[in-house]
Amino acid sequence: MRRIAGIIIAVALCLSSIVAWADNENSKGIIVEIDYGRLRPSRTIEAPLAKDRTILEVLQSVATVETHPVGKYVMVTSIDGVKGKRGEMAWYYTIDGKSADKIAYSKVADSAKHIKWVYKKDVCSPKVDCLNTAKKED
- pLDDT of 27-43, one tens digit each? 569 999 999 999 999 99
Q: Is the pLDDT of residue 8 over 50?
A: yes
Arithmetic mean of pLDDT over the chain: 80
Task: Answer whether 0.85 is exceeded by the pTM.
Answer: no
Q: What is the pLDDT of residues 86-100, one digit of tens each?
A: 889 999 999 999 998
pLDDT: is 70 or 4 the higher one?
70
What is the average per-residue pLDDT within 11-27?
47
Helices (H), 26-80: 55-62
Domain boundaries, the chain: 28-137
At a CB cut-off of 8 Å and minimum separation 6, what does 94 contact? 100, 115, 116, 118
Q: DSSP H helical segments within the chain, as ranges?
A: 2-25, 55-62, 124-137
Is the distance from CB of 81 to CB of 111 less than 8 angstroms?
Answer: no
Banded model confidence at residue 4, pLDDT cuts 50, 70, 90: low
CATH number of 28-137: 2.170.130.30
| Greatest Cα-to-Cα distance within the chain, rounded to the nearest angstrom | 92
